[in-house]
Amino acid sequence: MKILIVGNGGREHALAWKASQSKLSDIIYVAPGNPGTSLESRVCNIDINITEIDKLAEFAYKEKIDLTIVGPEKPITMGIVDKFHMMGLNIFAPNKSAAQIESSKIFCKNFLCRHNIPTPNYEYFSEIKPALSYIDGIKLPIVIKADGLAAGKGVVIAKSKQKAEYIIKNMLSGNLFGNAGKRIIIEEFCYGEELSFIVMVDRKKNILPMDTSQDYKRIGNNNTGLNTGGMGSRSPALLIRNEEIYQNIMDQIIYPTVSGMDAEGNQYIGFLYAGLIINKLGKPMVIEFNCRLGDPETQSLMMRLKSDLVDICIAGCKGELSKKNIQWHSKYALSLVLSSGGYPNSNYYNNYEIYGLPKQDYPNSKIFHSGTCLNKNNKLITNGGRVLSISTIDRDFKIAKKRLYEIAKSIYWEHIYFRTDIGF
């Protein structure tokens, strides 16, 4: 089979790496890919940007691609699935209409309320004055969210009224997050533990849950500082070992979401990522939905996945997920993101040569490329906010964590930054 993976980050590198291990795959194309994907066996980078939907479809049609997996949300929300389906191509992702569950937080929250799916209380605004009046009568802290896509950074927790007013004014004026913040949600802050719960859904509404993971979202240790695209992950999440919590998530959130989307004419097919918070009573609530796999959760999940990724995605396209079970290694996986200094702000340091990358992977570990490229001298340099992610796996959590940081400390570039508490 010929496989196409759309994207150029660590998530897509992990997907390409796992797809290359499939007995069904002959060649894996990654568009556009990165220097890391180009080193994988049977993987070939294709110079097509993720937003060039027509070119991607033309390539897939010409090359007779058997399966396309889309990594980032941007091409999904632009309608890549609709285009591929028009051309009779297999692609495992939701169409543009269903992808509104991520592309508009207001759409998502209104949908959750219509179907009585637990989520924090909220209001949404497009004008500054009503939003400022609203916060006069509610308890702090509050969560302020940009309605549109903001690369995982469009969420701010305001602990003071002064900060809340500043964020509201700057989001709605377009100074923060551009058009993505021209409408906002103001949401109650809920205390608890965050959890990434990802399932696969096919056209017959069959649901196949993946194992659990947790994302370390904030830039600083102890989950402090600004929101990022993710600074690390772990799988499985220890919290979900409680069977009652697992069943509550399926019964109260996943099943009604899939059936509700279908009932409203937005049939959902693909990976569905529920960003949840579990409160002290064990009650799950939806913080957000994503219409794709998470990054860096995917890196940890692919380390633990025993099943054939290509096989289960093909089953998803055919409506045959009910015939599949996903098998996982009974080990701990950890992933650590190495970033450029200054990230997640837009003025992070860039174009620095990367030193110390091992010529081959350590045992039970893998380095995935995210924001890297080759300069004119063929040297590997930084080319993004999140540059590399290191993943380790072991039956002993402490060994996995120790190996993770041993590898991290062997890699260097000017202004390198990473959290030192991933796994806690």
Q: What are the tens digits of pLDDT across the range 110-160? A: 999 999 999 999 999 999 999 999 999 899 999 999 998 877 678 889 999
- pLDDT for res 359: 80
Q: In whole angstroms, what is the distance from residue 362 CA to residue 401 CA?
A: 13
List the beta bridge partners of residue 272: 199
Q: What angle do CA 268, 269, 275 make, to 5 degrees?
A: 70
- pLDDT for res 252: 97
CA proximity to 105, closest of 183, 37, 179: 183
DSSP state of 328: B
- pLDDT for res 154: 85
CA proximity to 147, closest of 120, 182, 175: 182
Q: In whole angstroms, what is the distance from residue 104 CA to residue 83 CA?
A: 21
E-assigned strand segments in 263-353: 270-278, 284-290, 332-340
Kindly state the helix (H) or strand (E) to which residue 209 belongs, with its residue range.
strand 207-209
Its sign, for the CA torsion 346, 351, 356, 357, is positive
pLDDT beneath 70: ranges in the chain? 152, 239-242
C-alpha distances in Å from residue 218, one per residue of 213, 221, 224, 341: 16, 8, 6, 14
State phi, psi for 321 to the nearest 5 degrees.
Answer: -65, -25
